[in-house]
Structures are given as structure tokens and as C-alpha cells.
Structure 1
């Protein structure tokens, strides 16, 4: 897998990968319905090098874009969001993308990442825990365009990037018996 910026030639593939109601219902920042104009706007938006927003790809595979992961600022904290296209669910892609983003976030100078998931999406909670995030005990709400703008409760998780070893290639996250690949952030 590879994390890289989205390019203009990705618009069609990006739209096909993300434009699923099952994905949109779980995200706070995705316009819904999502179309190629939204993908064009995403690709063209000005980027903050300290808050990267990247696509997750499987190089050489047909339909190479399988997800996305990005950082954004909420009240001075770095929050991470992610998604995976439904045909790729259950393959460990989100966990590996989060691990790669944690490595990149540390390189960008972030000491802590915050994440949340819709309360009715426990699989996302497992992904966060497998990537080294821990529950903070707080539950917040966010408005989801994929749910008609209705609020959804969301347990909060955090990952301390300043602690040694907690975001390194899966050494102390998840099942230590499972071999782990490495997500490599692509040069922008």
C-alpha cells in the first residue's frame, strides 16, 4: 500500500471508491451525495503540509484507490479521519493507513492524534485500537451529511505520538503474531 496525494487524473477513480452511502454515513466531512465535482474540489483544494490528506492506494492493482486518510485541525488538536471503499473492507487497510498517517503526523511535529467513530460503527473502533489509539472516555457528536445532517454520537480515541514505540509498524499494536506491512508516505 502507498499513501499519496490525490491527483487530477484520480477524480473518476476517487469518486467510484468513496461515493457509497455506507461510507458517507460514517463520515463527518464528506459531502453527500458525492460526485466528480466534489472529487475535483478535493483534488484542487489548497494543502497544509502539516495536515496532509492522502489517498490510500494499492499500486499496480486495477482500481488502485482503496481509501483515504487525512489530518485536520479541530480546536487546536490534530484529528485524523479515514475511509475505505466497501470492496476492500476487512483487509486491514484502514489500520495500516492509520499507522502510516501516525508516522507522517509525527514527522510533521504532532505529538498527539485524536480520532472518533460513529457509535453504530464498532468496526471502526476496532481499527482505531488496532492502530494504537486508546479511548479517552469522551463521547462527542458530529453532523453527518450522509445521514441527512443529523448528529451522531462518536466515542473519542487518542494516540500519543511522543511515547516511544506506540506507533511503530505494529510492534505493540493488535496481534503481535500477525506480520505487519509498512505504509510508506509518498513524496508530495
Structure 2
């Protein structure tokens, strides 16, 4: 599955992407904001993630900047995952691509796909010491739930307070109207 947004190209990871992935994510400032990534992030971690099979209902994407002359540059990752029976949006971007609106743009693209896939609700969270991620979530339509929960951070090796957000998605539209009848 591939998605093209205004400035970005979202695509599945391929096994040969592991070195570029490692070069982009191997930054403690990036990893410490993720729940499931270890620190230090190793070549084996990158090989595993780049080769990870896609789940059709919960896809994840490498986010790239398309160019006309060179291969597209990997700048981050965005996707859906199941957490405690709910569908969660998650993302990360290499530090030199922070503050450019890429997280919002990629998140919007995946939110649109989530609607198409029939998901009714998305959740997301950010660690309390990462308010920039909270701004991204609110910018794309997530609402704070009022809950702060303890979430284990593999990189930090302990629980960290996470501010929880949710988004209700509208049901996909039916252009044929009710019961499959064409609307005149």
C-alpha cells in the first residue's frame, strides 16, 4: 500500500531499507519519545523493523521526501497498531525534519486511510515531556481524553506518563445510498 500526500510519499518498508532506517532513527532524542523502540537502537532492530510484514488493517509506512533526481529520502515512519484492543496512530521523524509539518501531513494521510479501512476510532498518546507531539495530535483532530496513564518506554527502561488522545472517525460514505440503492 502506498500513499501520496502533498509533499510526502508513504510506502512500506523493504528489507534493504535497514541502513537508512538506522541512520535516521539512531538518535536518543527521537527514540526516547517512542514506547516500543529500544535504546541503543541497533542494526538488528533496524533489520527487523524494515522487514516487518504489513497488517492490512494496521499498516505502517516509511515516510519519504520524493525527488526527481535521487532515490526518495527516508525521513520517518507513521502507522497504525493495536494497543489494548484499540487502534493507535503512531509516528516518528528524524530530528532534522522536526518542525516542518511532516508529522501532521503524514498523520492526516494515515487517518484518511484508517477511515477507508473502516476504523471507527483512533487513539494516540505522547509522553508528558514531548509536548510537540501533543500539538501535532491536536492539529490533526485528536482530542485529549483527560487521562494520563503510565506507559512503559523500552528506550527509557521505565514507565513514563503519557497524555492520552482519541479521535472518532466518521463511517465511510456510501455513494449508492441506503441498502445499496443508487441515489438520484
Interval containing the TM-score (normalised by the shorter chain):
0.7 to 0.9
What is the distance in 2 between the residues matched to 1:42 and 1:18? 11
Matching residue of 1:28: 35
User: Which structure has the higher relative contact order (CA within 8 Å, separation 6+)?
Assistant: 1
What is the distance in 1 between the residues matched to 2:14 and 2:58? 17
What is the distance in 2 between the residues matched to 1:75 and 1:157? 14
Shift of residue 44 of structure 1? 2.1
Q: Confirm or deny that 1:67 pairs with 2:67.
A: no
Matching residue of 1:90: 99
Gaps of 5+ in 2: 1-7, 173-184
Counterpart contact for 1:24–1:145, Cα < 8 Å:
no
What is the distance in 2 between the residues matched to 1:63 and 1:21? 24
Counterpart contact for 1:77–1:114, Cα < 8 Å:
yes
Is 37-46 or 107-116 further displaced after alignment?
37-46
Q: Deviations over 1:67-102 (max 9, x none)?
A: 101111112210111101000010001111110110
Match of 1:157 among 143, 156, 165: 165
Aligned residues: 163
Match of 1:138 among 139, 147, 163: 147
TM-score by length of 2: 0.84
Aligned Cα RMSD in Å?
1.6
